[in-house]
Amino acid sequence: MKYPGTAIGFLLTILASTLLAGYAAAVPPEGVGTVVDLEFSDLLGSGEYRTIDPARSEGLTLLVFWSSTCAPCLREIPVINRLRSEYAASSLLIVGLPQDERPERVIAICTRFGVNWPQHVESGGAMEKPSARRLGIVRTPSYALLDAAGRVTDLGFSDPERVLRDDLDR
């Protein structure tokens, strides 16, 4: 080899420009202040839901980004079930946004763990769902809190219990 670093340098240049091109073309996540208006039928069959609902003018919505293959997510399910029961009278809507590609897996896990909050399955691959991409969610479990107007007030946190206590127990 006459020029040992040339091939490696060339490959690194191509890799760097590919990554930078993808970064420049990506739409940046929106975040706090973004309005999230989801209207959906619960995958588990408990009815129709909307994150902006005049009937819940004082309520909050907790979005739960989770996956059936995520062990920390599965450990959080009893906590979310308890929070739903605890704050039922306060107009809190909890919406699961599973990042799974197969709805039947979501239904099986929800049945197994007694999930008592609606699930909205969006199209797209894992962590490529529209709501996750829009809000910049890159890991599960992750959460977003919306006010009654559907505006994100807190995003990407990992302790929904603390956040809800801060917002609802005032």
Q: What is the pLDDT of residues 129-144, one digit of tens each?
A: 999 999 999 999 999 9
Structure confidence at residue 54 as a pLDDT band (50, 70, 90): confident
The Cα 45–Cα 126 span in angstroms is 23
Q: How far is CA 161 from CA 75, 87, 115, in A?
A: 14, 11, 17
Asked whether residue 66 is assigned to any structural domain, the reply reads: yes
pLDDT at residue number 1: 44
The Cα 127–Cα 165 span in angstroms is 28
Pair 114, 74: CB distance under 8 Å: no
Asked whether residue 15 is assigned to any structural domain, the reply reads: no
Strand partners, 98: 66
pLDDT tens-digit profile of 64-85? 999 999 999 999 999 999 999 9
CATH of the domain at 69: 3.40.30.10
Model confidence pTM above 0.75: yes
Asked whether residue 23 is assigned to any structural domain, the reply reads: no
The CA angle 73-75-78, to the nearest 5 degrees, is 105
Asked whether residue 9 is assigned to any structural domain, the reply reads: no
The Cα 12–Cα 45 span in angstroms is 51
- How many domains are there within the chain? 1
Structure confidence at residue 28 as a pLDDT band (50, 70, 90): low
**Domain span holding position 152:** 30-168
Helix (H, G, I), strand (E, B) or coil at 170: coil
